[in-house]
């Protein structure tokens, strides 16, 4: 399973409007809802907020990866948002998140979720990849970069 297979142009927001972590979590769940990837918007939002309260999903280097498990999906789903201003995700390096990937997984099927988190961590540990994603102008370009770079992993 590749990350780019979880995304499409409609599930990518090139310019997030949110300014806080709670707002961006709502905005990202709205994207999943609008694209028909989730069955229950309220359940997903509660699950992702609950997960975030346990421990931040800001991983550093300008990246946030909010994620959760819920019965409101039939399979692993994802969306990607770009924040030009950056959002405080309480990351270990205290840097604001500019790339926000949300992953929502089935409650009783953790395998794809764990693999996707590992792939994201590996992909986004590369500064050149992060810089290329931030420089992208369109969702199509973002998808192309992710696909090309991910196939190199």
Q: At 123, which helix (H) or strand (E)?
A: helix 110-124
Place of tokens 């990202």: 28
The rounded distance, in Å, linking the Cα atoms of 33 and 6 is 14
The rounded distance, in Å, linking the Cα atoms of 113 and 150 is 16
| Annotation marks residue 98 as catalytic | no
Q: Which of 67, 98, 107, 113 is catalytic?
A: 67
The rounded distance, in Å, linking the Cα atoms of 65 and 75 is 18
Which residues form the catalytic set? 67
């Amino acid at each position: 399973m590749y990350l780019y297979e979880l995304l499409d142009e409609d599930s990518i927001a090139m310019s997030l409007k949110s300014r806080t972590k709670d707002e961006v979590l709502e905005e990202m769940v709205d994207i999943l809802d609008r694209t028909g990837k989730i069955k229950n918007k309220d359940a997903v939002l509660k699950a992702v907020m609950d997960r975030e309260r346990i421990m931040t999903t800001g991983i550093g280097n300008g990246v946030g990866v909010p994620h959760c498990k819920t019965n409101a999906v039939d399979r692993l789903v994802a969306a990607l948002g770009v924040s030009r201003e950056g959002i405080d995700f309480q990351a270990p390096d205290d840097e604001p998140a500019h790339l926000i990937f949300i992953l929502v997984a089935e409650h009783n099927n953790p395998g794809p979720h764990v693999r996707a988190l590992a792939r994201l961590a590996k992909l986004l540990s590369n500064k050149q990849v992060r810089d290329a994603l931030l420089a992208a102008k369109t969702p199509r370009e973002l998808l192309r970069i992710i696909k090309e770079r991910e196939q190199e992993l």
